[in-house]
Amino acid sequence: MRVKICGLRSRAEVRAAVTAGASYGGLVFFPRSPRHLPLGDARWIVQAMPDGFTRVALTVNASNENLDRIVETIPLDMLQLHGAETPERVAEIRARYGLPVMKAIGVAEEQDLAVLPDYARVADQILIDARAPKDAALPGGNGVSFDWRLLSGRRWSVPWMLAGGLTPSNVAEAILTTGASQVDVSSGVEIAPGYKDPRLIAAFTAAALAAGGGGPRGSALDGSGVAV
């Protein structure tokens, strides 16, 4: 079981995630998000991430120019694409930067899963998130979930991660229902948009690891982009 804490905005939050046993730390580069980080701040925060803690940059429909600036400024282990990027765009980004790519897919009903095989052919990982409400300002981090039973018994050709409305109180049920071996949280461990609570990070990670059978925290990336 591996846990990703997304939207980290301070060294204290990084320390809380690492201490709790999370495997991934997500940095958001999307100005409309309350979790957005200026590149200068992100560079400072990344320095607090120890070796083996997978550093993930989340972007939304980013141009090559913006991605160039991020990759050139910050040492990263993975790019997370959280917009409307096509499979062709995912493949282009993966080839351009030589980094593992995680593609987020919004799900609200079974038919939303139909695109996953196309993305699985070009991405290193898939993040299955709740589809954003029509009036939402953000593509993710909205604190909403979906019917986890849609994922029960399903597997794809690349590793996948569950997100969307997860909290310390429901993550165990989500893992048991879906069979997920990786989970992602952002708003579910916040006391206000963009402000993580170390106690909630610890509680979420502990609940996820216990539901997944425990095990050591991830420490490196294997060839498929999975923290191991």
Is residue 220 a part of any domain in this protein?
no
- Show pLDDT as tens, one digit a residue, over the chain (228 residues): 999 999 999 999 999 999 999 999 999 999 999 999 999 999 999 999 999 999 999 999 999 999 999 999 999 999 999 999 999 999 999 999 999 999 999 999 999 999 999 999 999 999 999 986 555 555 545 466 899 999 998 999 999 999 999 999 999 999 999 999 999 999 999 999 999 999 999 999 999 999 998 543 433 333 333 332
- Structurally, the chain folds into a number of domains equal to 1
Q: What are phi and psi for residue 97, nearest 5 degrees?
A: -105, -10
Is residue 96 a part of any domain in this protein?
yes
The DSSP H or E segment spanning 64 is: helix 64-73
Is residue 100 a part of any domain in this protein?
yes
User: Does the annotation count 124 as an active-site position?
Assistant: no
Which is catalytic among the residues 6, 77, 124, 184?
6
Which is catalytic among the residues 77, 124, 129, 184?
129
CA distance 6 to 9: 9
How far lies 190's CA from each of 71, 97, 107, 168, 193, in Å? 27, 32, 23, 11, 6
Predicted TM-score (pTM) of the model is 0.89
SS3 222: coil
Q: At 1, list the tokens.
A: 């079981």
Is residue 101 a part of any domain in this protein?
yes
**CATH code (residue 48):** 3.20.20.70
Is residue 190 a part of any domain in this protein?
yes
Is residue 227 a part of any domain in this protein?
no
The DSSP H or E segment spanning 3 is: strand 2-6
Parent domain of 142: 2-211
Is residue 87 a part of any domain in this protein?
yes
Find where tokens 């893992």 sit. Answer: 175
- Cα 179 to its chain centre, rounded Å, is 17
Is residue 176 a part of any domain in this protein?
yes
Q: At 92, list the tokens.
A: 């282009």
User: Does the annotation count 6 as an active-site position?
Assistant: yes
